[in-house]
Amino acid sequence: MAKETIDNQNVKSKRDSFRESFAQRYPDLNMDDDEAVFNQIATDYDQYDQSKKKMDDFNNMLKENPHAPGLVTGLVTKKNADGGDFNLIDYLIDELGQDYIEALMVSRRSSLVETSFTVIFEPLTLETPLPLPVTCGKICR
């Protein structure tokens, strides 16, 4: 249903504009079948909700991981922040190399402490005499 303006020009109503664009998007949809049209609208809303959740999850991941935005941007644009060509290996080494080295050092230190503890204390039992003489000096002789 077209509306007429003051200048006697035909202007499409919002309903007609919607039906036209929806029919272009879904050419096989019978626009005269209200049930089919509203079913398609409901499906579109469900897909929108799913897409929105995925986008929100992705945005949260970008916020929580400080290396993620640069990685994603480099992968999409194939450019570094300085405009040079993006290289995944170089990016990972530049961004995470120091963290990786520190993690290895912590792991190595804890492994050394564990090994030292095992070597020193594992052979000891309650019956094992202590290597040093234990006396109190006055009563125990």
Q: List pLDDT tens digits, range 102-140.
A: 877 777 777 766 776 666 666 666 665 655 555 555 555
Q: List pLDDT tens digits, range 24-59.
A: 999 999 989 999 999 999 999 999 999 999 999 999
pLDDT above 60: residue 64: yes
pLDDT above 80: residue 67: yes
Q: List pLDDT tens digits, range 11-28.
A: 889 988 989 998 999 999
- Please state, in angstroms and rounded to a whole number, the distance separating the CA atoms of residues 85 and 71: 13
Q: Which of 73, 92, 93 is nearest to 83 (CA)?
A: 73
**What is the pTM for the complete model shown?**
0.48
Q: Give the residue, 130 or 141, on which the prediction is more confident.
A: 130
Q: Which of 49, 44, 5, 4 is nearest to 22 (CA)?
A: 44
- Please state, in angstroms and rounded to a whole number, the distance separating the CA atoms of residues 46 and 39: 11
- The whole-number pLDDT of residue 80 equals 86
* Average pLDDT rounded to a whole number, residues 82-97: 85
- The whole-number pLDDT of residue 123 equals 63
Q: Is the dihedral of CA 8, 11, 14, 18 positive or negative?
A: positive
Q: Give the residue, 7 or 72, on which the prediction is more confident.
A: 72
